Amino acid sequence: MATPQQPNAQQNARLEQIRRQWAQKRQITDRLASVRTKIGVYSGKGGVGKTTVACNLATILAKQGERVGLLDVDIDCPNVTRVMGITDKPDYRDGQISPAEGHGVKVVSMAFFQENEDEAIIWRGPMIHNAINQFLQSTDWGELDYLIVDLPPGTSDSPLTVMQTLPMDGFVVVSTPQDLAIIDAKRCINMIRKLNLNVVGIVENYAGDIFGEGAGRQLAEDIDAPFLGSMSLNPSYRDTSRPTVLVDDTVSGEYVSVADELRRSLKAHGRET
């Protein structure tokens, strides 16, 4: 029988797991020490344009002279490379990833490591957890003003892994104006706040005559968070060769406004940018 002086095997295993997790988190923190501001772009459900917002926000920040990285941790459905129009792969040497780059943005995504874009990544939670940690531990971002992290949607294991592992400065929550999307956005906001993390703003996507508009601003008021802006449902998004802020001046103006509001929100949360 185990005694207080002689922990049993289960206790030893638990202590070893805690030590590994602590060492892993320390390594990630050290790896990201030269990244000034880390922002998660998050949504309660897929299909609301979360990746589009992440990519265009990263691109407009880079266009404004910021040093920007974009990390795609939507492991099973990685789309960042498509929206960014990047085909060059990152370098991987001696266990270290050097990001690819496009439009002034450094990019890492699971899509770079797929042989076939149509391939289904059918992984259970622990494998997804390990892939996310591999990106966080192994990527050499260099000095960045912003790291934009495109999270998986929903409130399950994958976004939880990121939130508990990566020291975020705040989250931008993306929703569309429909009632169901707003309900799901509230769920992911509740998850963020239960983990004592910051919602630095709400973005309403696909605003206009078809889906309506204004629900995103109302959501921001309801949860007492900044409203960063609305993105209109614009036909320029059909051009998928590059981020739409580089194609359409109207879209570019919308994202300039969102970037400005994001800076104000970060400052109000004590995060100088």
Q: Which residue has the higher pLDDT, 103 or 12?
A: 103
- Specify whether the CB–CB gap between 50 and 174 falls below 8 A: yes
Average pLDDT of the residues of the chain: 90
Contacts 24+ apart (CB under 8 A), 214-219: 214/177, 215/175, 215/177, 215/178, 215/179, 215/182, 216/175, 216/177, 216/182, 219/175, 219/182, 219/185, 219/186
Give the DSSP H/E element, type plus range, for residue 70. strand 68-72
Summarize pLDDT for 165-207 with one digit per residue, the tens: 888 999 999 999 999 999 999 999 999 999 999 999 999 999 9
State the pLDDT at residue 123. Answer: 77
Summarize pLDDT for 65-117 with one digit per residue, the tens: 999 999 999 988 899 999 999 988 899 888 899 999 999 999 999 989 887 77
The C-alpha torsion from 41 through 45 and 47 to 48, rounded to 10°, is: -60
The mean pLDDT value for 224-230 works out to: 97
Domains, the chain, with CATH or none: 11-268 (3.40.50.300)
Summarize pLDDT for 230-270 with one digit per residue, the tens: 999 999 999 999 999 999 999 999 999 999 999 999 999 88
Q: Which among 261, 175, 256 has a CA at the least distance from the CA of 223?
A: 175
Measured from the Cβ of residue 144, the count of other Cβ atoms closer than 10 Å reads 18
| Top-ranked range on mean pLDDT: pick from 6-20, 112-126, 206-220 | 206-220
Q: What phi and psi values does residue 87 have, to the nearest 5 degrees?
A: -115, -25
State the pLDDT at residue 273. Answer: 62
**Strands 68-72 vs 144-150: parallel, antiparallel or unpaired:** parallel
State the pLDDT at residue 270. Answer: 83
The mean pLDDT value for 23-37 works out to: 84
State the pLDDT at residue 95. Answer: 82
The mean pLDDT value for 124-131 works out to: 83
Distance between CA atoms of residues 250 and 184, nearest Å:
28
Alpha helices in 118-214 (DSSP H): 125-138, 157-165, 179-194
State the pLDDT at residue 143. Answer: 96
191: which 2 tokens?
Answer: 């998850």
Confidence of residue 3 (pLDDT cuts 50, 70, 90): low
One DSSP character per residue, 212-260 reads: BSSHHHHHHHHHT--EEEEEE--GGGG--SS-GGGT-HHHHHHHHHHHH
